[in-house]
Structure 1
Amino acid sequence: MSAEKPHRSLADKINWLICHMWPADGAQQPSDAEVAAAVQGATNEVISRSTVWKLRTGRQPNPTLRTLNAFATFFKVPIGYFGDGEEAERIEGQLSLLALMRDGGIGNATLRALADLSPEGRQMITEIITSAARMEQQRSGRPPGGQDDR
């Protein structure tokens, strides 16, 4: 059951960061101008509203390294997140876990309880989560893997 994940574009990755890693005290769905101002304010790198719009819509699929560094710095992610390959996939997995912990209310006590389970217990939890995710995907008509997370 190891179907290959579809390639995520730079626009997909930028939008995912804005949707899932935007500071909790910030706007719920920030505008391109708000994103530009926040990134520029945190990094002193000049980022325009139109640059953010182009990145979010895929009209600028090959930005400068300075722009990517500014986004990586603001969102506190490794620059490798924006690449392709195993490193990018590993980083995406870690970021998804962090977002789930933050947004889903999974705290340290829950993680400690999971860590204390036997391998069989962890496997049982994995099967329950996989089954629930499959059910949700069927109900909503989403493709497996949550690739439409925006």
Structure 2
Amino acid sequence: MAEQTGVKRETAPEGTLADKVEWLINHMWPADAGPPKTNIEVAAAITAATGEEISSTTVWKLRTGRQDNPQLRTLTALARFFAVPLGYFGAPAESRSIEDDLTLQALRRKLDDGTIRPDVLRAFTDLPADVRWLVDEMILAATQAAKLRTKA
């Protein structure tokens, strides 16, 4: 139903490497690393945690899609830092189950840190399908509006 509104679901992406890297930074950032504000901070955190030298330019290229075929050592460092399987960066058909699992992990983090209230999530699952669809569409529209606002 989301396709009717043109709004994408906030799940682990099937798209480009840039989409996948950006999703990891926004949803799977390690709690003990402190929130990243710049590509320099992202690169420094990955380098510090993995020992693999990643430059801020490399992070920028990956996030913007200017580099879509990085070295295996770069992908391995990203996979280790974000605690995802290396296969996450593979072809969409190979990584679909990994992406579903990562989406569930991100949801669990939101539940654990109180960002999403468990009682609200339980209430959502108890709604009839037609009402749940309406809530789905409202959430997707709100997500799209937030993305547009942050780009402005």
* TM-score, normalising length: structure 2: 0.70
SS of alignment partner, residue 142 of structure 1: helix
2:137 to 134, 137, 140: 134
The verdict on how the C-alpha distance between 1:125 and 1:90 changes in structure 2, with shifts beyond 3 A counting, is farther
Q: Could you tell which deviates more after superposition, 127-136 or 42-51? A: 127-136
Match of 1:24 in 2: 31
The verdict on how the C-alpha distance between 1:29 and 1:36 changes in structure 2, with shifts beyond 3 A counting, is closer
> Are 1:68 and 2:75 an aligned pair?
yes
**Conserved 8 A contact 1:19-1:29:** no
The verdict on how the C-alpha distance between 1:69 and 1:129 changes in structure 2, with shifts beyond 3 A counting, is farther
Distance in 2, matches of 1:93 and 1:126, equals: 24
Q: Between Structure 1 and Structure 2, how many residues are aligned?
A: 133
The verdict on how the C-alpha distance between 1:129 and 1:86 changes in structure 2, with shifts beyond 3 A counting, is farther
Q: Could you tell which deviates more after superposition, 38-47 or 73-82? A: 38-47
The verdict on how the C-alpha distance between 1:101 and 1:125 changes in structure 2, with shifts beyond 3 A counting, is farther
| Cα displacement (A) at 1:130 | 4.2
Amino acid of the residue matched to residue 92 of structure 2?
G
| Cα displacement (A) at 1:29 | 3.8
* TM-score, normalising length: structure 1: 0.71
**Structure 1: runs of 5 or more not aligned:** 115-122
Distance in 1, matches of 2:27 and 2:126, equals: 28
Q: Could you tell which deviates more after superposition, 31-40 or 64-73? A: 31-40
- Aligned-residue RMSD, C-alpha: 3.4
Match of 2:46 in 1: 39
What percent identity do the matched residue pairs reach? 48
Structure 1 consecutive aligned stretches of length 4 or more whose deviation exceeds 6 Å? none
Distance in 1, matches of 2:48 and 2:15, equals: 28
